[in-house]
Structure 1
């Protein structure tokens, strides 16, 4: 039977989760959902969502489950991370409901439009981050700082820590381009890692 989860995250300066909980419970009653299982998180929004209780919650979710949050900004502070969470939920068949925003991501056309808008916003955010990074690197290089990784063979791939997740995505038949987005790497990095795995 599908489960209903309510994810509550408070910033370090928030008092408690009571306001979020009240809104979520009222929403679940209105939608005639089962009583939600609450997962509370007081971690910083700067921490990756995969490393917070939200990551574990999504990992154990199954198709048909419902994830309710008080507002979309409670998922993550970065548009990129919100988009990742939306894609992860969609890939697992988990409905995502944001109470205050009145957003329901359930595979409908409207949900796809919302996801596309978030995708465009995330792309703009990526471009801005990239431009700031290039400017900072140029400034450091101009001041004489040596850039790049140290010479010599690499000790391992950053994808090694996500090996099980990548294999699971491959077994599910996801395209490699989609996997790259989900594990936040370039296609070249994924193909290089897959080549090392096979050899």
Structure 2
């Protein structure tokens, strides 16, 4: 039985690997080891996620897809969720989520009848939690839009404020030759955030060279 863990964060500033230790502990308690981790910074409302598709491509019948929460896998619309469920079912991959206790039984051997029963129960619960995750996503987006509209009407909206102190620290470490791993350990940021700062440094150096 191969266990493949999927880790997702919504924005570049979040650490997709945050739940890694929890997943490792969960697998260890059940005598399992995680064969591979697939982490990415993508919206759960987006179906096209390279690492998730790579995980499914690597998977074989009977493998486990281990996630922290169902919303890490999906905040998709009903149509896109069904597309993803179809892909997962075609690969005969079993989904185990830490926030879905009915799925935990799939992480241990069972006879065919018991396995089918828990798979059916798990499928229904996944559909429910995926719908709840999408509703939460839509509600948050609506509240954010309403808040932004009110702030704009009051002349108070200035957009998202950059964390200048953190970004300056990242830039300093990059200039000192620190690796992405060292920077992530220091600031808890994503590789994409570091890459963005690195690009900014390169552009500034190029501009300075042209002026010189």
Q: Report the TM-score when normalising by structure 1.
A: 0.51
Contact 1:8 1:21 in 2 (8 A): yes
Greater per-residue helix proportion: 2
Contact 1:43 1:52 in 2 (8 A): no
Q: Flag the 1:20–1:122 CA change in 2: closer, same or farther, 3 A.
A: closer
Post-superposition offset of 1:67: 1.1
SS of 2:44's equivalent in the other structure is coil
- Structure number with greater Rg is 2
2:67 corresponding residue in structure 1: 69
Post-superposition offset of 1:92: 1.8
Distance 1:102 1:83 in 2: 22
For CA contacts below 8 A with separation 6 or more, give which structure has more relative contact order: 2
Distance 1:119 1:41 in 2: 23
Unpaired segments of 5 or more residues in structure 1?
Answer: 126-199
2:29 corresponding residue in structure 1: 30
2:98 corresponding residue in structure 1: 99
Contact 2:12 2:41 in 1 (8 A): no
Unpaired segments of 5 or more residues in structure 2?
Answer: 107-114, 135-212
1:58 corresponding residue in structure 2: 56
Structure 2 residue 119 is the aligned partner of structure 1 residue 111: yes
Post-superposition offset of 1:56: 2.0
Contact 1:86 1:115 in 2 (8 A): no
Q: Report the TM-score when normalising by structure 2.
A: 0.48
Post-superposition offset of 1:4: 1.5
Aligned length: 124
Post-superposition offset of 1:100: 2.3
Distance 2:46 2:72 in 1: 13
Distance 1:34 1:121 in 2: 26
Contact 1:7 1:38 in 2 (8 A): yes
Q: Flag the 1:60–1:27 CA change in 2: closer, same or farther, 3 A.
A: same
Post-superposition offset of 1:79: 5.5
Distance 1:70 1:120 in 2: 16
SS of 2:103's equivalent in the other structure is strand
Post-superposition offset of 1:45: 2.4
